Structure 1
């Protein structure tokens, strides 16, 4: 039997060398490039008060399940404690507004901020990126990470945190995160994912048209400048273009597409056009809408989507909380799928006053527009 080869020995030595380098980096205090006094480290840096004093650190953000009062000299700093684990499904984004404001206040006072977790690799780096995105609008999560890696090569947020950083960017880093519709959709998606992982439908139903109606931003009514999806048989309105979920496999990838897809696909106003351009794609995917309520309230994991017009009730598609694979090969979770052959996506011209009637579209009972009255109003 041959012994260990020179190549194997070289690989072992290289791994040992990298491990030693990483240990040193974990203990080091790395400055975030820029004029501001913001530093990243692992927990061991708290045992080096002289280093922190030299760096001008006055405020500390601790991003782990940890009682900072157990460290010697904790009272010499102003603390912000974020109790989180380094797991993909941890909700880190909910802490971004508080942490960003804490850092801003510290810097405004002329202080310096240390952001640390266990190793200075994922949680602390993610919080630093959240701050950079909020204060340097030209950055993306990927470019901010690249910036931090200039001084801290081991920086590597987990994929779930990168997803949330992309979401934070899309929410325009708003301090009022609870009012951001994209954030609320992401929260709901995590609920759905948790429920389906144990074989159950979600306990809470969220219909996007109702949520937008609450905020006064949109409704399911026709008559605006967007396309409208209607049942091909009876012309009942099913969805406006904004409720179509983009799942086009050929959509251009973003530069910072590291885990940039949230659990629930986020809507794209150009989704219909993108999907229509793909011959292989035979489905539209919708967000959950209020007309689906009777089907979803039954508590099943999957089922059929019927036209909500009780005089029609044509089969238009199907839904599955665990997801469906489109004919184009893309898997969408959860999935509310409508077959393109069973609906029509009508242009705004058809939807306007003269549109449906002038185009010879047969309207269902209750939706027919009465003829204009003669004489004065």
Structure 2
């Protein structure tokens, strides 16, 4: 099996992992898995045998980044219990269990490879993609399973935004991702039960129109905890009520209340990012000004639906 890909941080190796790990597994266990192999370029090649002591030779130009990434992806896929199981491990500080981070899982698997290959060192872009692979649950049912995954789609979108920022341009209007619409589609496709926890809704101070429900509020603290109430900004996901402002193609501008009878200025957006009064940067930034909105405690949402911002479910 050959994978034609450059050893570049921006190269998409993540989408190749399902086919790669299935191929490696079929080589190591030829009598317990169907052998699947496709030919392509000549950069990263794995050759399997069918002898009783089967093995797979995984290599690239330097045996350092591309090939190591494929081997680490396989270890995470085949032996997840070695790196935290179902993403939980015992905390060394107590008897309680804590959630293992993707970074910890990937680093642990890479360390296993380094025991035999000390020079193993995937580039930073591949390390991030391995973390995403773990967060996805290492899906490998078919070649397209990663492409269909919401985490992968969000990663591609973030990459597109980065390219736009590098060129000092707003993203193309047709490519903007509105999180409330995306989640609604995902729920329709998966038909899964989603429960929102208690939190605070953000409403326009002037007309009381709901602007964002708890599931669409973004933390911008280094620890990921709730933002300090002293921050002047409340950062939220890109929501469909912002469509008119964002599709004009401006790099930054005002956000106004979607209530046509109000149209009060409630915040601002900046594709290049904004710095909060707490000195933290958020990129891209969709900010609601705390002096222009109210934060109201929200009741738990039923398990049968995702609570959406106004305009998505007919609520005020």
- TM-score bin, normalised by smaller chain: 0.7 to 0.9
Task: Work out which of the residue numbers 161, 167, 172 in structure 1 matches 2:137.
Answer: 172
Deviations 1:62-95 (A, max 9, x none): xxxxxxxxxxxxxxxxxx2111111211111111
Deviations 1:20-40 (A, max 9, x none): xxxxxxxxxxxxxxxxxxxxx
* Partner Cα distance (2:267, 2:216) in 1: 15
Task: Work out which of the residue numbers 176, 185, 199 in structure 1 matches 2:168.
Answer: 199
Say whether the 8 Å CA contact 1:177–1:183 is kept in structure 2.
yes
Say whether the 8 Å CA contact 1:304–1:315 is kept in structure 2.
yes
**TM-aligned CA distance change 1:213 to 1:348, over 3 Å:** same
Deviations 1:246-281 (A, max 9, x none): 321234xxxxxxxxxxxxxxxxxxxxxx234x2553
Quote how far apart the aligned CAs of 1:346 are.
Answer: 2.6
* Partner Cα distance (1:161, 1:292) in 2: 34
**TM-aligned CA distance change 1:349 to 1:206, over 3 Å:** closer
Partner of 1:85: 6
**Structure (1 or 2) with the greater helix fraction:** 1
Corresponding position: 1:209 with 2:210: no
Quote how far apart the aligned CAs of 1:207 are.
Answer: 0.9
**TM-aligned CA distance change 1:136 to 1:344, over 3 Å:** farther
* Partner Cα distance (1:247, 1:113) in 2: 44
Q: TM-score, normalised by structure 2?
A: 0.72
Partner of 2:29: 108
- What are the within-5 Å matches in structure 2 for residues 1-377 of structure 1? 80-109=1-30, 111-138=54-81, 139=83, 140-175=105-140, 176-203=145-172, 204-216=175-187, 225-227=197-199, 228-251=201-224, 274-276=225-227, 278-279=228-229, 281-349=231-299
Say whether the 8 Å CA contact 1:283–1:326 is kept in structure 2.
yes
Question: RMSD value over aligned CA atoms?
Answer: 2.4
Deviations 1:1-27 (A, max 9, x none): xxxxxxxxxxxxxxxxxxxxxxxxxxx
Say whether the 8 Å CA contact 1:89–1:160 is kept in structure 2.
yes
**TM-aligned CA distance change 1:332 to 1:155, over 3 Å:** same
Deviations 1:146-176 (A, max 9, x none): 1111111111111111111111111111232
Whichever of the two has the greater Rg, that structure is 1
* Partner Cα distance (1:84, 1:280) in 2: 47
Q: TM-score, normalised by structure 1?
A: 0.61
Partner of 1:259: none
**TM-aligned CA distance change 1:341 to 1:182, over 3 Å:** farther
